[in-house]
Amino acid sequence: MPYKEKKIEKLYYSIGEVAEMLDVPVSTVRFWENEFDILKPMKNKKGNRLFTPTDIKNLRIIHHLVKEEGMTLSGARKKLSEKWEETDYKFEINESLQKIKTILLDIRDNI
């Protein structure tokens, strides 16, 4: 199996980088920031938003709930406020399974 370097994580990501990771417009990230209390990006002196890896994880959970599961914003907000640990746990399992699937497909394609 070929050697793969570990992806280098930055301390802060710009809103453009975050939008590209999630494959959504920048305006959607700004909108979600206003709609969900768990998103608190830092701002630099210019006022540019700086997202931490924790913010990005929270955005991925929101993206999963809204875009993939088809929840409304109010439904996602309610689920995150009531069952945060459960939602986070299920998201982690889903992410792990997606990574395993990618690895297995890569192995299959290289046989």
Distances (CA, A) of 39 to 23, 53, 59, 91, 103: 18, 11, 8, 17, 31
pLDDT at 5: 60
Work out the percent of the chain whose per-residue pLDDT is above 90: 12
* Other Cβ atoms within 10 Å of 45 Cβ, number: 5
Supply the pTM of this predicted model: 0.72
Residue 22 contacts by C-beta under 8 Å, 6 or more apart in sequence?
Answer: 28, 29, 59, 60, 63
Q: Are 60 and 68 in contact (CB under 8 A)?
A: no
Distances (CA, A) of 73 to 33, 66, 78, 108: 12, 7, 8, 38
Q: Which amino acid is at 80?
A: L
Least confident window among 3-17, 33-47, 87-101: 3-17
Domain boundaries, the chain: 13-82
> According to CATH, what is the number of the domain 13-82?
1.10.1660.10
For residue range 1-35, list pLDDT tens digits in order: 556 666 667 888 989 999 998 899 999 999 998 88
* Other Cβ atoms within 10 Å of 69 Cβ, number: 11
